[in-house]
Amino acid sequence: MNLDTATLLPNIAKASYLIAAVLFILGIKRMASPVTARKGIVQAGIGMVLATLATFAITGGHNIGLIIGAIALGVIPTWLWGKKVAMTDMPQMVALFNGMGGGSAAAIGAGEMIKASQGGVALSKTALVLAVVGALIGAISMSGSIIAWAKLDGRMDKRFTFPGQQYFNLLVFIATVALGAMLVMKLDTTIIVAFFILALLVGILMTLPIGGADMPVVISLYNAFTGLAVAFEGYVMQIEALIIAGMVVGAAGMLLTQLMAKAMNRPISGVLFSNFGGGGQSSADIKGSMKPIEASDAASLLYMADKVVIVPGYGMAVAQAQHKIWELCKQLRERGKEIKFAIHPVAGRMPGHMNVLLAEAGVPYDLIVDMDEINPEFATTDVAIVIGANDVVNPVAKTDKSSPIYGMPILDVANARQVIVIKRGKGAGFAGIENALFYQENCKMLYADGQAAAASLSTELKQIDGGGGH
Amino acid sequence: MIDGFLALYIFILAAFTGHEIISRVPVILHTPLMSGSNFVHGIVLVGAMVALAHADSTLGKVIGFIGVALGAGNAAGGYVVTERMLDMFKSSKGK
């Protein structure tokens, strides 16, 4: 039985899709402001439920058992998992769910191709091209996102490289595109299978050599990919809601990816096709030594300060130190000190990752300040506490042209009167680059786990004035 | 039937809309927004449902089933995660 979706879609479903598309756009717009963000996601959620219900109405009960079974299978585990996963693990969850969306778009493409190859409704050339392109992008997004998830979740070694890797990847990609072109000319089941295997392989190969520091950019890129794949398959299925929502996400995701790459001063091509760090880094220019400090001395510095700026990084997430840090900050605020949190655009593993963790700990968002806004303030800051951040505060990015991070905008922590760096050990940052900040005269190293350090600073602070504040 | 230039218009205008609505986002919301837009492309579920409804062969049904399950996972997981993140945004005055 062949149903032509275009003629069967009753107007009521079309209207529901239109409303859903509007709700998605308004929802995303609202999510762009902290005040309305919560309403934005609820709105988009209503759009999704509406569109899903409308689809039940138009599919006329065909394969309804299978549809309901598949929805239950998709919704229940992800819902439960998403509810209980730790806030620090959010980036990889987004990667995983994004991969599912890419896979779904690829499956639509595969299904339509197979149906047409078996003599079903013939697809127009445009539809066929978009089905193939959407399937390619969706499959890359799926396998790439799964690798990104495995890396961020610590299930896979950080990087995997071999000589001539880029050429090999390019070869596989060209082969995939060639198979895709063959499919456009003539649909054949064997070629369809080979095409999907290669497309999935491209996503894996693309993501394997990319290091964890670049993961935010990659996840964002795959998010945009999935959007595009959904839009293309939406054309194939003749459903406007998919085209609109997919394109909106595709364009927004591309922009977000660019903003992120720009903040790291790395072109997107650099993220994808070159490997970061590990090179022979000369530390000849760095003078001085790292000066350790005890928690009690660090607490006195804080006690005497008027203005304290906290600079969190991925290390804070790893140590789950956000709650203890906020405890410490609340104590400082009780003692009349001005507290701010300085966030580098790419601190952590996703843009805004730190904001989410701080929000989880209960830090009001108006204390959290972006890089451009906080940088002039470091000159009037008495103590800057760097917790788990490294490359984003490294002055080498401004001074050493040979450094791989040269040109990356950084937080000017070095300008603060005193800098306390909370760090587990003496190792270099993710990029494997020595940090000149640590050797500066005004910088003291507090060697400890983030959580333990924040807790002991709190305790020491209470020791100083008996815990009462003023 | 959405075809030819009409389809092109929808693609282009939707792309501009996406570009416009995200161009004024504070960094603080980048992760929730990425997560939120990740949820929005979960609409792929609807396309997969229509595809499965029209599948006749066993292979077609298997592929359709996978598509619907993955799309539903994208939508449901994307929603929960985004909502949890946004739930935590509070102002120091608003408590």
Neighboring chain A residues of B51 at a CB cutoff of 8 Å: 107-108, 111-112, 237
The answer to whether the predicted template modeling score (pTM) of the entire model surpasses 0.90 is no
Q: What is the pLDDT of residue A429?
A: 59
- pLDDT over 60 at A213, yes or no: yes
- The partner residues of A339 in beta bridges, in order of sequence, read A308
Q: What is the pLDDT of residue A400?
A: 79
The CA distance from A102 to A145, in Å, is: 9
Write out the H or E segment, with its range, that includes residue B81.
Answer: helix B58-87
Q: What is the pLDDT of residue B94?
A: 43
In this prediction, what percent of chain B has a pLDDT beyond 70? 88
CA distance to partner chain B, nearest, from residue A327 (Å) = 15
Q: For chain A, say whether B8 makes contact (Cβ under 8 Å).
A: no
Neighboring chain A residues of B75 at a CB cutoff of 8 Å: 48, 52, 74-75
Cross-chain Cβ contact A45/B83 below 8 Å: yes
Confidence of residue A431 (pLDDT cuts 50, 70, 90): low
The CA distance from A58 to A24, in Å, is: 21
Q: What is the pLDDT of residue A9?
A: 55
Q: What is the pLDDT of residue A142?
A: 97
- 3-state class (DSSP) for residue A432: coil
Q: For chain A, say whether B7 makes contact (Cβ under 8 Å).
A: yes
- pLDDT over 60 at A469, yes or no: no
The CA distance from A272 to A261, in Å, is: 11
Quick one: DSSP state of residue A308?
E
Q: For chain A, say whether B62 makes contact (Cβ under 8 Å).
A: no
Q: What is the pLDDT of residue A65?
A: 94
In this prediction, what percent of chain A has a pLDDT beyond 90? 49
Segments of chain B with pLDDT less than 70: 1, 27-28, 90-95
Q: Which of A205-214, A238-247, A441-450, B3-12 has the lowest mean pLDDT?
A: A205-214
**Do residues A406 and A382 touch, judged by C-beta distance below 8 A?**
no
Q: Is A306 a known active-site residue?
A: no
The CA distance from A215 to A52, in Å, is: 32
Confidence of residue A428 (pLDDT cuts 50, 70, 90): low
- pLDDT over 60 at A2, yes or no: no
Q: Which of A45-49, A199-203, A456-460 has the lowest mean pLDDT?
A: A456-460
pLDDT digits (tens, 9 = 90+) for A333-380: 999 999 999 988 777 767 677 888 888 888 988 899 988 899 999 999
Neighboring chain B residues of A38 at a CB cutoff of 8 Å: 83, 86-87, 89
Q: For chain A, say whether B58 makes contact (Cβ under 8 Å).
A: no
Mean pLDDT for chain A?
A: 86
A237 to A53, A171, A241, A460, B45: CA distances (angstroms): 17, 31, 11, 64, 12
- 3-state class (DSSP) for residue A461: helix
Cross-chain Cβ contact A237/B27 below 8 Å: no
The CA distance from A304 to A297, in Å, is: 11
In this prediction, what percent of chain A has a pLDDT beyond 70? 90
Q: What is the pLDDT of residue B31?
A: 80
Paired tokens of A393? 């505060």
Q: What is the pLDDT of residue A99?
A: 97
Q: What is the pLDDT of residue A159?
A: 65
Given A107, A124, A362, which is nearest B66 (Cβ)? A107
Given A45, A74, A79, which is nearest B68 (Cβ)? A74
Confidence of residue A401 (pLDDT cuts 50, 70, 90): confident
- pLDDT over 50 at A433, yes or no: yes
Pairing of strands A418-423, A443-447: parallel
- pLDDT over 60 at A144, yes or no: yes
Quick one: DSSP state of residue A377?
G
Cross-chain Cβ contact B36/A245 below 8 Å: no
Is the model more confident about A287 or about A153? A153
- pLDDT over 70 at A452, yes or no: yes
> A314 CB contacts (<8 Å, ≥6 apart)?
A347, A348, A349, A353, A388, A389, A430
Average pLDDT over residues A373-397: 90
The CA distance from A212 to B15, in Å, is: 29
Confidence of residue A1 (pLDDT cuts 50, 70, 90): very low
